[in-house]
Amino acid sequence: MGEPEDIDIESGEEQQQEEQPREGFSIGKLIEWLLANMIPVIIAVVISIIFIVIYVNAQISKKSEEEYETHKLSAKPDPKAIFTLDDFKVNTADRDEPHFIRVKFYVAYDGENNKLQTELIDRKIQLRYIILSILNSKQKMEIDTNALKEVLCEEIKNAINNVLKYGEVEDVFYDEFVIS
């Protein structure tokens, strides 16, 4: 008789297990799981983004500090003579947002070379055309710093010297270099 009681007890346990609700899909459990597992991931992503932003800002500020460092320009010897090429008013080569340049150029040359002085006067229109062509080919970002303006002056000097027959200009200077 001990056996039937054991069977009844076991069958009673089976009935209790069957009466318990089975685990199935539940929105509440899904939300609980998401909160338990996703919040640490979201926090880690946010912290990573904050560190990335701080790092990028530090790099940008270093670059801007380097860009705005004072460049010590070497003093150039006084030229013997200056030839004025008048004002230039030119549009840049920028396609997205055109800019306007207003600048006045001067060339320095050996004042004792009378043939060169005469040639500069005679070729003034040609020299202006050369400079206009160079300026028209430049975008704002190619001429917006002092170092880039010096490169531009060197380019103009070389272009002018390529057409001169009786000497060379020693340097090119600018006045009122305005980009708008």
User: 153-162 pLDDT, tens per residue?
Assistant: 898 899 988 9
Domain 81-179 has CATH 3.40.50.150: no
Q: What is the mean pLDDT of residues 75-98?
A: 79
Alpha-carbon dihedral angle through residues 152, 158, 159, 161, given to the nearest 10 degrees:
140
pLDDT tens digits for range 23-33: 667 888 888 88
Which tens digit of pLDDT belongs to each residue from 55-83? 888 887 776 666 555 556 666 666 578 88
Residue 11 has pLDDT above 60, yes or no: no
The domain ranges of the chain are 23-69, 81-179
More confident residue, 65 or 175: 175
* Integer-rounded Cα radius of gyration of the chain: 40
The band of 177, judged by pLDDT with boundaries at 50, 70 and 90, is confident
In the predicted model, what is the mean pLDDT of the chain? Answer: 79
**Contact by Cβ (8 Å): 145, 67:** yes
**Residue 46: band (very low, low, confident or very high) from pLDDT cuts 50, 70, 90:** very high
Confidence at residue 40, expressed as pLDDT on a 0 to 100 scale: 82
Collapse the DSSP code of 61 into the 3-class scheme (helix H, G, I; strand E, B; otherwise coil) and give the result: helix
Written as six digits, the tokens of 84 are 């004025």
Q: Kindly provide the b/e burial profile for residues 55-71, where b requires at least 16 CB atoms within 10 angstroms of the residue's own CB.
A: eeeeeeeeeeeeeeeee
